[in-house]
Amino acid sequence: MAIEKMAKAKVLPQYIAGLSAAFGAFCMGASMGWSAPVEKMLTTEEAYGFPVSADQFGWVSSLLTLGATCVCIPAGFVIDWIGRRPTMLALIPPYMVGWLLMIFASNVTMLYFGRFILGVCGGAFCVTASMYSTEISTIDTRGKLGSFFQLNTVSGLLYGYIVGGYLTLLYINILCAILPLIFAVVHFFMPESPIYLAMKNRPDDAVRSLKWLRGKDCDVSDELKEIMEETNKNVDEPKVNVFAALRRPITLKGIAISVILQALQQWTGINAIMFYSTSIFEDVGAGLSGRVCTILIGATQVVMTLVATMIIDKAGRRILLLISSIFMAITTCLMGVYFQMKESDPDSVTSIGWLPITSILLFIVFFSIGFGPVPWIIMAELFTEDVKSVAGSIAGTSNWFSAFLVTKLFPILKNSIGSAPTFWIFTVIAVIAFVYSLLCVPETKGKSLLEIQHILAGGKKSTTPEEEDHH
């Protein structure tokens, strides 16, 4: 069997290619991390030379996620049309246009367009890089390579926090703008996904890709055979239209699971905390500056996401979601308690300024080992190859649209109903996430595509896409 022969496959080339693709997520993370440290530069110090109101800055922050929302589904079609690797490389020119608008902005409109374009490119990276990483991996490394996407995202966030905390606006923008160029240089030398090449009926190219990824001395013949079968490249079988394939009950169930997990990831409040972390800590009035606390958050997230990368193929996806959600509920509840005490009696919280900082750090810890990486991994594992791109893009759209709404609504809710009720809303959503993960999310650790499809079908014998298409 192919799995037995994969025991001799090298893992280092897979890690190199996976990290290379995931560096696109680093670029997006830096764009996301840009918001927190520059908020005062734009709204108070007028670092661009023109005024930016609090409401306008809210749009500058949230347009990034709106741009990502708009591109996910189109990106799903593009990556099946021209390929995973060419799509990521084609994103570099518009990425540079976005950063040039940010560097030379002379009015708020240029900032709006720049952030929207950065969001479009980052959102396309998110769909493509997460899919590419799982497609180049073996079953044993799939979880780890899938985690590279989230690891690079949070590393990019930390990068944005650090350069934003200690440099002027011009240098912040320049140091973020060079990241897509670094990606282009590195990823240019990586292979195309062997699954994409098999989908395009290019077995010779797929063999070369597998040899690069597994090692030139590794026998990839059985793996290639399995890939060709799974991608429906039997010439005697009629090709199924993607829209018809999306209507399969198994696919619809997978889409529902992925979409809800992606939405829950955002509605537990992660981007609200990350985008506005500096101002949150300054509201707290703790001994540490908002800048230092924000960097502390970013560093915590990187370390814990790295831990998740190490354990996700051993612990499993579902248990990490359960642990993650219950502790996110506890920590956001404590945040709400702190702000409620502060509002009713400001003097009562002078001695517990550590509580919100500790709560946020613990929130980041448990988000990073579960609801951070796992929804992206599951998104890439639930679908057959003929629908994976589009179905994954639908799930990605859910993530970014939820991120846009949370980012935009958080300051509005905070100002209208107060910080405490706002964090308690996140608590309720985290509890919902726990219940949903317990009852509805399947365990995909160590399972082949056919085994995962069998689970989605509820254990029925007729679980293959081909059999469903004939019904």
- For 217-238, write each residue's pLDDT tens digit: 888 888 888 888 776 544 444 5
* Residue 381 is assigned to a structural domain of this protein: yes
Q: How many CB atoms lie within 10 A of CB 460?
A: 11
Burial 2-33 (b: 16+ CB within 10 A, else e): beeebeebebebbbebbbbbbbbbbbbbbbbb
Instruction: Give the domain CATH number at 167.
Output: 1.20.1250.20
- Could you tell me the residue range of the domain that residue 35 belongs to? 8-190+240-459
Q: Tell me the residue type at 80.
A: D
Contacts 24+ apart (CB under 8 A), 233-237: 233/198, 233/199, 233/201, 237/466
Tell me the CA distances in angstroms from 402 to 40, 218, 271, 305, 397, one per residue in order.
25, 43, 10, 21, 8
407 close to 270: Cβ distance less than 8 angstroms: no
Residue 66 phi, psi (nearest 5): -65, -40
- For 359, counting Cβ atoms within 10 Å of its Cβ (0-12 exposed, 13-18 middle, 19+ buried), the class is buried
* Residue 200 is assigned to a structural domain of this protein: no
Checking if the pLDDT of 97 tops 90, the result is: yes
* Residue 332 is assigned to a structural domain of this protein: yes
Contacts of 440 (CB under 8 A, 6+ apart): 257, 260
* Residue 468 is assigned to a structural domain of this protein: no
Task: Match 């699954």 to its residue by tokens.
Answer: 195
What average pLDDT does the segment 288-311 reach?
81
408 close to 279: Cβ distance less than 8 angstroms: no
- What distance in Å separates the CA atoms of residue 426 and residue 432, rounded to the nearest whole number? 10
Q: Tell me the residue type at 273.
A: I
281 close to 165: Cβ distance less than 8 angstroms: no
* Residue 120 is assigned to a structural domain of this protein: yes
Total domains in the fold of the chain: 1
Checking if the pLDDT of 149 tops 70, the result is: yes
What average pLDDT does the segment 417-433 reach?
92
Q: What are 371-424's pLDDT values in tens digits?
A: 988 898 888 788 877 788 888 888 889 988 998 888 778 878 888 898 889 999
* Residue 2 is assigned to a structural domain of this protein: no
User: Worst-scoring range by mean pLDDT, 95-104, 346-355, 394-403?
Assistant: 346-355
Six-digit token string for 112:
């709006």
Q: What is the mean pLDDT of the chain?
A: 84
459 close to 451: Cβ distance less than 8 angstroms: no
What pTM value is reported for the model? 0.80
Residue 219 DSSP one-character state: -
Tell me the CA distances in angstroms from 185 to 78, 157, 316, one per residue in order.
22, 21, 34
* Residue 96 is assigned to a structural domain of this protein: yes
Helices and strands of the chain, counted as H and E runs: 25, 0
